[in-house]
Structure 1
């Protein structure tokens, strides 16, 4: 009798792992046909499709149902038997040439024979279906991401479709267009997909490195292509770190050593990620960085935020980058008849910048004298400073180092007091 090739629906692997086909079973329960596997893919990339082709032999014109079962495993080791995946059925219709209309030969599918792509690109497909039946085009390919992967073509209809294609692995593949119209035997078409980007490598990078608070990470990028390429280089670093980005051009068949500056946070061991991107493709390299130094400089500054007649608001800003919290009091030796309002105690958490407001009430008289200011911490540290006022306002500001600091703590504390006083008679 006559024979046809029936194509079942595309298999879809929605996992994040590649799926490998271990066994395919095509069968039927009809004595008038013989169903078996003819050709198939061996694996499916994550979120991709594949096509299974079955051969059906019949001894007479008839309609029958055939079935397909698949077993396989993911690259992470998980297995899937036929029960897990489920059985799919498809309709087999076998007939003589009388079921084929004359318009089948007029069906047109116009696709490019080859396409060189860079990342995800668009392929234009022109379709003309002059038959009286709806047609379906299924698109598939090894290591290809295709969207959409099915196109429905109504009867007596022409359309232009744009298909998004991306080559996931390797440098070339074939995009296959399988046409299905009941009563028509239409040959499939293919487009050869090649990668427009040539390979590049990241070599001589440190997988582990001990760094200071401000350091550099150096590595080499090798351009294996025959033409110059633009490369964008960056690093994913922990919160409160900083790493600069760079863009470089590397000639073909050559390499270049690149360094990125890294400003680290508190000491410890951290996982970072080096990213090198060119023409839509990115290479990622993990680098473990160990910071052995600790930030120890506490910065204290004061500025006038608002000022009114006989009143002054000082905003004290304390930046504590150390790994320990600090507590203490701000002491201001006020001139006679001046008053201080507000809480002078301070408490700043580790790796935190915090503001404190202190209000000073003046007597409204002209002054020309120094006002001692001290910051005393509970751990014994004392910072002395002074602010000098004149009729024109603040004349100078001082930044003094901490006195009587225990050697074990070794903290450098800078206090800058900036005060503007409006004196009115």
Structure 2
């Protein structure tokens, strides 16, 4: 991305001096929520083969329009110049590299209509991430996190009050609108981790909104109830990982060991007392044969490695996994982020993605040593990142474009750059 006024002086990424002239939080919040609403909120039932075929209905056009609106806004407010600015962090380089790999792989995808749209969406998301990093202050990521938590909590309430028809295969799994329970679980897991982080760090100094503790607890209770209701096992596992990361990073030294011991005892007690309920939740009444294949995921992954062996370096192109698996097994997507990338972008995309997650985690972890005044940023970024990574074992969201996990990944990229640049 390029800069606006003063590009020649600053070398320009997106315009202007970082974080001072455009610290208002309305446009980043509105842009992020618009992308989440457009990509993840299903307003009607639609067959998977309609998606890969490139057939566009009014709601597809609405999604494309929202991304186009965000892209146009960023272009008009932060007009491009001719000189690139040198990135300050290694994670920023990797963010560019990941977006370039995804968007570039759209050029040779066997499903060009879908792939080109997804590639353009990745470019818009990268531009949004860089705009937030360059033109906002440390309070903006917290505003985004708060607004997202309110959106998801409101969605749970709406889903409880106005239940929409469920798919025949998922009659007892909670969701809202026509959102798939796996997608709803992924959004809820992120919200649970974020809200739990704010509850445990409530007494610490930070930028951004600061709400009463009972309000955070109320929103957290709503999201936890919704997450359990989705019966999405991977999302629950991701939320548990994120919560444990919050517990582990909130304190230091002896207090950390004490909290770890108490948490271990509490988890053991819950496991003993509620073992039957936990077993029922994770089995969902499915037969042993179905459970042994993780709902056909192991069969799907075996087929994925056959595809990967045929195109190991660059893969088949963006969104190819969705169409290939749909044609072969009737399941869209690889149901694993790394496997999804191996099929779509080959080793190139998988290596860049793994490097991006690793460096992002290390950069967030180092916030405690390079900037001791930023413990909340460190805790929240690490918890959300590792929670999404755990969930990515069972869903492809973190390794695919145009979904809530991908959106949050680019938000986290902006978050760590802001945290490294300015005191909270």
Counting strand residues as a fraction of each chain, which structure ranks higher?
Answer: 1
Specify the TM-score bucket, using the shorter chain as the normaliser.
under 0.3
* Larger RCO (alpha carbons 8 Å, 6+ apart): 2
After TM superposition, the score normalised by the length of structure 1 is 0.18
Larger radius of gyration: 1
After TM superposition, the score normalised by the length of structure 2 is 0.18
